[in-house]
Structure 1
Amino acid sequence: MSNKIDNIIEELKSLTLLEAAELVQQIEEVFNVDASISSGANMAVLPSDNNTSPTEVEEKNSFNVVLEEVSSSKKIAILKVVRSITSLGLKEAKELVESAPKILKEGTSKEEADEIKTKLEEAGAKVSIK
């Protein structure tokens, strides 16, 4: 590998989970691709212009839990719940809570998404499932 690629790999290794998730999200937006779609070894992922996709036809089975709003008076209780759900460190969890609205958990089951939403709402957060 070239020195440039080695440096990029080393930088990627040092990212936190939250930073890696933000990187994936930004790459998806910039290059108009979906990282959750698995493709065959010889297939290229190309953006499509049609409005119908297989995920719209099928019943949705993975959901994103979005932390919409955090009351400043309930921030500590919400922070504790976020840490228990995500296993993030205090600093990363605090940054996530303070940057709401933010995706808290991606690609989760309906049951788990509902459970997370209930826990966060009990702590005082406004949460949506998408």
Structure 2
Amino acid sequence: MADVKKLAEELTKLTVLEVNELKNVLKDEYGIEPAAAAVAVAGPAAGGDAAAEDEKTEFTVQLKDAGGQKVPVIKAVKEITGLGLGEAKALVDDAPSAILEKVSKDEAEEAKKKLEDAGASVELV
């Protein structure tokens, strides 16, 4: 049981880039599709009422698609996250991917606008 708790603690400390790498390992080496995990996580929340959604204080900026021109989107991701060029490119290439996690509504909206202005398709979760 202590090992499971330790694993859970380690998972909560992962950066966005590390989560993205984990997603790829789970998909490529174990055949676990990211969408299945997202549905499992989102399942209980779907049963909640509308008032619970209004009270949401932390958001994830999800890049759904980079659009036709990836370079402006990569630059926007680099600016928003502070990541290096290679890391930002990896996030864009692996879309859908989380660009920011557990951020305020204002910060999420600002990031969404920058990404959409660059031509990306973005969702706040």
| Seq. identity, % | 46
* Partner residue in 2 for 1:78: 73
Cα distance between partner residues in 1 of 2:115 and 2:90:
16
Structure 2: gaps (5+ residues): 1-13, 27-36, 42-46
Q: Report deviation, 1:122.
A: 0.6
Give yes or no for contact 2:112–2:123 (8 Å, CA) kept in 1: yes
Instruction: Give me the TM-score of the superposition, normalised by structure 2.
Output: 0.61
Tell me the equivalent position of 2:7: none
**What residue in structure 1 maps to residue 34 of structure 2?**
none
Query: Which residue number corresponds to residue 59 of structure 1?
Result: 55
Number of residue-to-residue matches in the alignment: 95
- Distance (whole Å) between structure 2 residues aligned to residue 115 and residue 83 of structure 1: 14
Q: Which structure's residues are more often helix, by fraction?
A: 2
Unmatched 5+ stretches in structure 1? 1-14, 34-50
Q: Which runs of 4+ in 1 moved over 2 A?
A: 20-24
- TM-score, with length taken from structure 1: 0.59
Amino acid at match of 2:18: E
1:90 aligns with 2:77: no
Change (3 A) 1:88 1:59: same
Task: Work out the CA distance in 2 between the residues paired with 1:84 and 1:92.
Answer: 12
Change (3 A) 1:111 1:16: closer
Question: Quick one: distance in 1 between partners of 2:103 and 2:118?
Answer: 20
In structure 2, the partner of 1:8 is: none
